[in-house]
Structure 1
Amino acid sequence: MLKVQIVTADLHNKQHADAYLSLMSHYACDPMGGGEDISDFAKQNLISTLLKRSDVFIVLIFNEGRPAALLTAIEGFSTFACKPLFNIHDVVVHNDFRGKGLTKHLFKKIEEIAKARDCCKITLEVLSGNKVACKAYQRLGFSDYQLDPEFGSALFWTKKI
């Protein structure tokens, strides 16, 4: 039985900042996170850079003080709805805590924050081969994005600069 504490992260709090970096490193090293640790530059600058932003919301879960999971959401804007939206950028459940329902807790908390901010929707990206995450997100009410099935699903593309 887990004894979890779910918090909206305050990165001024050293415990929260350390947990965030530890979980992000854990995620990056996983094949679904790219299989390579975050850079030394990111480790040294991520917290201070995030603290400069007012549009980033982080949920952390601790189990008996140990970092167990995190979710990073970044506020965007829907021009069609003329309202803010949240894009979930990172979802991490430490290997030691997978299969224990922590993703549901992360999403419940971020949905509470999104509703309080009058967001019109929550978006996320997921690798098509990450079947476990796809099933979890579907159970939470997410699906691929279509305006008209004739034109197919939206794709998430990237160009590094």
Structure 2
Amino acid sequence: MSETTTLSATIVRADYNDPKHAADIVSMLRSYAMDPMGGGEDLSGQVQRDLVPGLQAMPAASSILAYIGDEVVGLANLMTTFSSFAAKPLLNIHDIAVSKDHRGHGIGRKLFDEIHKIADEIGACKVTLEVLEGNAPARALYASLGYGDYVLDPEMGKAMFWQKRL
């Protein structure tokens, strides 16, 4: 397990077999889900039960947690995939969340420091994420870290994220 200690928070690469890490992943994702930026609804009992075993079953999944003391205050769920255009790994931030009481104190930036370290370790060509248009604080953080719209040809516009629920 790799750890990075900072003045206010410790960033830890989660161990899905560690009961505290598993509980903290579920707790943080529930908090994020209930936030308006996460959809405003709690996770179902089934999702709460199946979340960590599901992540653990996915070889491409990893998670990092932020702690202040023993209190979990941040989470990032990551998925490693592959860029066919670069023929290199690509790291996607599937979820990133900081607890409401700890936002604006640099914890998100510390999570990104670890994300970028992981991306370097795997030789990733880029890190991707999704963000809601109305999430101005997150967008400001991401822009300050060099993230921006995905554009191949400005005449064709920026890429859009679509979904089909099954």
Question: Aligning the two structures, in what range does the TM-score lie when normalised by the shorter sequence?
Answer: over 0.9
Contact 2:33–2:43 (Cα < 8 Å) also in 1: yes
Rounded Cα–Cα distance in structure 1 between residues aligned with 2:104 and 2:8? 15
CA RMSD of aligned residues (A): 1.2
After TM superposition, where is structure 1 displaced by more than 4 Å over at least 4 residues in a row?
none
| Counterpart residue number, 1:139 | 144
* Residues 2 and 95 (structure 1), Cα distance of their counterparts in 2 relative to 1, 3 Å cut: farther
Point out where structure 1 has 5 or more consecutive residues left out of the alignment: none
| Counterpart residue number, 1:44 | 49
Contact 2:55–2:62 (Cα < 8 Å) also in 1: no
Rounded Cα–Cα distance in structure 1 between residues aligned with 2:46 and 2:156? 41
Point out where structure 2 has 5 or more consecutive residues left out of the alignment: 1-5
Report the AA paired with residue 136 of structure 1: L
State the TM-score, normalizing by the size of structure 2: 0.94
1:3 alignment partner, SS class: coil
**Are positions 1:12 and 2:20 aligned together?**
no
Count residues in correspondence.
161
Aligned-residue offset at 1:3? 3.3
State the TM-score, normalizing by the size of structure 1: 0.97
User: CA-to-partner distance for each residue in 1:38-83, whole Å, 9 max, x for gaps?
Assistant: 1111011111111112111211001011000011110111001011
Rounded Cα–Cα distance in structure 2 between residues aligned with 1:154 and 1:51? 30
| Counterpart residue number, 1:56 | 61
Rounded Cα–Cα distance in structure 2 between residues aligned with 1:132 and 1:92? 12
